[in-house]
Structure 1
Amino acid sequence: MRVRNYIKTQPLIFDGAMGTYYAELDSAGKKCELSNLNNRELILEIHEKYLDAGCKAIKTNTFGANKIYLESDFEKVKEVITKGYNIAVEAISEKDAFVFCDIGPISFVKNENLFEDYKDIVDVFLSLGGGNFLFETFSSDEYLKDLAKYIKSKNKEAFILVEFAVSPDGFTRLGLSGKKIFKELSNVEEIDAIGFNCVSGPQHLLDYIKNFDIEDKIVSIMPNAGYPTVVNNRTFFDNSSDYFANQMLKIATQGVAILGGCCGTTPEYIRKTVQKLKTFTLDDILKAEVILKSESNESKIENEFLIKINSGEKVIAVELDPPMNTDIDFFMKGAKILKSLGVDAITIADCPIARARVDSSLLACKLKRELNITSIPHMTCRDRNINATKALLLGLNIEGVNNVLVVTGDPVPSAKKDEIKTMFSFNSAVLAKHITTLNEEIFKNPFNICAALNVNAINFESELNQARKKIISGVSMFLTQPILTKEALKNLKLAKETLDAKILGGIIPVVSYRNACFMNNEISGIKVSEEITELYKEVSKEEATELAVKISVRITKEIAPYVDGYYIITPFKRIDIVERIIVEINKTKGYASNRK
Structure 2
Amino acid sequence: MATWLYQQGHAVGSSTEELCLKNQEWVREAHLAYLHAGAQVIETNSYAANREALARYGLERKTTRINRAAVQLARQAVEMAEADAFVVGSIGSIAAARVMTSNVEEFRDIFEEQAVALLHEGVDGLILETFFDLEELLLALDVVRPLVATSGVPIIAQCSLLDVERTRDGYLLSDAFYQLKEAGADMVGLNCRLGPAEVLRAMEKAVVPAGLSLSAFPNAGRPAIIDGEFAYKPNYQYFGDNAIKLWEQGVSLIGGCCGTTPEHIQAIAGAVAGLKRLPRINPEHTPRIEVFEREVVRFQQSEQPTIVELAEKRHTVIVEFDSPRDLNVERYVEGAHELYKAGADAITIADNSLATTRMSNMALGSIIKRELGIEPVVHVACRDRNLIGQQSHLMGLHALGINQILVITGDPARVGDLPGASTVFDMSSFDLIRMVKQLNQGIAFSGRPMNNQARFVCGAAFNPHVRNLEAAVARLERKVDAGADYIMTQPVYDVETMLAIREATAHLKVPIFIGIMPLTSTRNAEFLHNEVPGIKISQQSRERIKKFEGAAARAEGVEMCKELLDEAVKSYNGIYLITPFSYFEMTVELTKHVREITQVSSRASNF
Same fold flag (TM > 0.5) = yes
Aligned to 1:28: 10
Aligned to 2:534: 525
Q: 1:137 aligns with which of 130, 134, 142?
A: 130
Write the deviation string for residues 227-286 of structure 1: whole angstroms up to 9, x where unpaired.
113345553211634444555666677887865421122344445556469466344232
Q: CA deviation at 1:326?
A: 0.3
Aligned to 2:297: none
The answer to whether residue 511 in structure 2 is matched with residue 502 in structure 1 is: yes
The answer to whether residue 323 in structure 2 is matched with residue 340 in structure 1 is: no
Residues 36-435 of structure 1 mapped to structure 2, 5 A cutoff = 37-39=24-26, 41-49=28-36, 52-53=38-39, 57-65=41-49, 68=54, 71=57, 73=59, 77-89=63-75, 98-104=86-92, 118-130=111-123, 132-138=125-131, 147-156=140-149, 159-161=154-156, 163=158, 165=160, 167=162, 177-179=168-170, 190=183, 192=185, 196-205=190-199, 221-232=216-227, 234-238=229-233, 240-245=235-240, 260-270=255-265, 272-273=267-268, 275=271, 278=275, 281-287=278-284, 290=287, 302=303, 304-305=305-306, 308-309=309-310, 312-413=313-414, 419-435=420-436
* In 1: Cα distance, 2:571 partner to 2:164 partner: 42
Q: CA deviation at 1:84?
A: 2.4
Write the deviation string for residues 466-519 of structure 1: whole angstroms up to 9, x where unpaired.
223323332222111112234532442244323343321112122333332222
Of stretches 523-532 and 214-223 in structure 1, the one that deviates more from structure 2 is: 214-223
Gaps of 5+ in 2: 290-300, 444-449
Aligned to 1:476: 485
Distance 1:579 1:19, change over 3 A: closer
Of stretches 308-317 and 380-389 in structure 1, the one that deviates more from structure 2 is: 308-317
What is the alpha-carbon root mean square deviation over aligned residues? Answer: 4.2
What is the percentage of aligned positions where both structures have the same residue? 26
Contact 1:454 1:480 in 2 (8 A): yes
Count of matched residue positions in the alignment of Structure 1 and Structure 2? 563
Residues 492-571 of structure 1 mapped to structure 2, 5 A cutoff = 492-539=501-548, 544-560=553-569, 562-571=571-580
* In 1: Cα distance, 2:455 partner to 2:476 partner: 21
* In 2: Cα distance, 1:510 partner to 1:431 partner: 32
Aligned to 1:9: none
Contact 2:247 2:278 in 1 (8 A): no
Contact 1:496 1:563 in 2 (8 A): no
* In 1: Cα distance, 2:245 partner to 2:476 partner: 45
**Secondary structure of 1:134 counterpart:** strand
Write the deviation string for residues 332-361 of structure 1: whole angstroms up to 9, x where unpaired.
111112222342221111111111110112
Distance 1:554 1:74, change over 3 A: closer
* In 1: Cα distance, 2:486 partner to 2:247 partner: 45
* In 2: Cα distance, 1:289 partner to 1:528 partner: 64
Distance 1:321 1:211, change over 3 A: farther
Distance 1:276 1:359, change over 3 A: farther
Aligned to 1:451: 460
Contact 1:43 1:61 in 2 (8 A): no
Distance 1:263 1:566, change over 3 A: same
Write the deviation string for residues 122-158 of structure 1: whole angstroms up to 9, x where unpaired.
3311322447433433566797665544333433366
Distance 1:21 1:306, change over 3 A: same
Write the deviation string for residues 526-557 of structure 1: whole angstroms up to 9, x where unpaired.
11222333332324656545543443334334
The letter of the residue matching 1:59 is E
**Secondary structure of 2:306 counterpart:** helix
Aligned to 1:573: 582
Contact 2:489 2:514 in 1 (8 A): yes
Aligned to 1:19: 2
**Secondary structure of 1:553 counterpart:** helix
Q: CA deviation at 1:61?
A: 2.0
* In 2: Cα distance, 1:361 partner to 1:519 partner: 27
Gaps of 5+ in 1: 1-17, 293-299
